[in-house]
Amino acid sequence: MATPTLPGSWRLEIQARDSDGLPLPATDTPPIPAMALRVAAQTEAAISVNLEATPKVAEAVGAPTAGLAATPVAQSPSGGLVATIGNVGRTTIPATSQDGTPTLVEAWSLPLAADGAAVKLLGTPLTADLLPGAQVTLQLSRPNGAAVIVVRLSGDPAAIGRSVPATVLFTASMDGGATLTQLQVPDLRDGGLASPASPTVSTPVAGQPVSSSPVAAGVSVMQTDTVGEVAIGLVRTPASSAPDRPDERDAPPGILVRTLATFAANAVEPTAAFLPWPSIRAGDAHGTVRVAGVPTGIRLVVVALVPDGGSLADPATLRLAWAPVTYPGTDPTAH
């Protein structure tokens, strides 16, 4: 089979059929695992984040899946974080673009604590041009607590090309150890790669949480036609399924929403909002809350639920998505 030529993330699914083209009986259908692959653009960097283990721990390897999904986890008893930027394209990524704009490697920590402020872990320019096939490794400091870490390449869009930021979930244990969970967030530009009419490919969509959650609710990031807004879809599940109390609910959680720009140039940096669960009509388990005043550009939206009475978001409720915002605004507020 020929490799797809259009840059982006693809999912290859193979289905065995009979010689006449009809599906095989279920008892004769061999399981063929799907494969995720990425076709690099002419100018593109692959960005990853790992733990700096002491002693060094071999990193697990696995094929990523579409949507938000947990890939193999690396564990470390100590040490910091390591960000790797590799040029997987066929053109040089310059340390300084033709107009003089430096190419920066930036890392942000977006804490799961509702009262925590975003922290810039790294902001340093490339010291030399990154040739095709070359890579650079930089050390990051560890966050103080559970956080979503985003590492991005920033600068002249023409110079850094289609470089997609890396996103990982960082959690620490009581004994000082740390765990990184790789989070797969579909790139907006990949949405048009797979044709809905094709039976052999599928478009990346929002996936499952990191793990099962004790919070009886779920969230999703939705597109909105209103400028300067991001819509958060909400679902509550009954605390009891008893017929005489069908509407019983646990105390509603709070909603933590953080956003971060794809690129640093001409963009407002991280924003945060902690919103109360909105009143939902009796008998209706679905609702929507809108975050207004989100800055312009392509924003990474991180949403998680904070259990009632708590201050730390439940990692299992995490949802991440890229959201295009077309109107410049300021501090997010709830509607």
First to last CA, the chain: 51
In terms of average pLDDT, the best of 74-83, 288-297, 300-309 is 300-309
pLDDT band at 223 (very low <50, low <70, confident <90, very high): low
Q: What is the DSSP letter of 133?
A: T
Read off the pLDDT of each residue in 242-255 and give the average, rounded to a whole number: 58
CA dist., res. 72 & res. 88, Å (int): 22
Look over the chain and give the mean of its residue pLDDT values, rounded to a whole number: 76
DSSP H/E element including 157: helix 157-160
Question: How is 2-27 classified by DSSP, letter by letter?
Answer: PPP-S-EEEEE----B-TTSPBPPGG
292: β partners: 229, 333
pLDDT band at 323 (very low <50, low <70, confident <90, very high): confident
Fill in the amino acid letter for 191.
G
Residue 92 φ then ψ, to 5°: -75, 135
Residue 241 φ then ψ, to 5°: -100, 15
CA dist., res. 154 & res. 123, Å (int): 10
User: Tokens 């009143």 sit at which residue?
Assistant: 279
CA dist., res. 13 & res. 15, Å (int): 7
- The CATH number of 210-334 is which of 1.20.120.1630, 2.60.40.10, 3.40.50.300, 1.25.40.10? 2.60.40.10
Q: What is the DSSP letter of 312?
A: B
pLDDT band at 34 (very low <50, low <70, confident <90, very high): confident
Is residue 247 pLDDT above 50, yes or no? no
Is residue 296 pLDDT above 90, yes or no? no
pLDDT digits (tens, 9 = 90+) for 141-197: 889 899 999 999 988 888 998 888 999 999 987 777 788 898 878 776 666 554 433
> Based on the number of CB atoms within 10 Å of its own CB, is 204 exposed (0-12), middle (13-18) or buried (19 or more)?
buried
Tell me what percent of the residues of the chain surpass a pLDDT of 70.
Answer: 70
Could you tell me where the beta strands, DSSP code E, fall in 155-292? 166-172, 178-182, 217-222, 229-236, 254-261, 271-275, 286-292
Which residues, 6+ apart, have CB-to-CB distance to 217 below 8 Å?
Answer: 234, 235, 236, 237, 252, 253, 277, 305, 317
Neighbouring CB atoms inside 10 A of 32's CB total 11
Cis peptide before 332 (omega within 30 of 0): no
Neighbouring CB atoms inside 10 A of 162's CB total 17
DSSP H/E element including 45: strand 45-51
pLDDT digits (tens, 9 = 90+) for 67-109: 333 333 344 444 689 999 999 999 999 999 999 999 999 999 9
pLDDT digits (tens, 9 = 90+) for 95-148: 999 999 999 999 999 999 999 999 999 999 999 999 999 999 999 988 989 999
Better-predicted residue by pLDDT, 32 or 332: 32
CA dist., res. 176 & res. 42, Å (int): 42
User: Could you tell me the sign of the dihedral formed by the alpha carbons of 15, 17, 21, 23, in that order?
Assistant: negative
Cα dihedral: 323, 329, 332, 335 (round 10): -90
Residues 191 and 322: beta-carbon distance below 8 Å: no
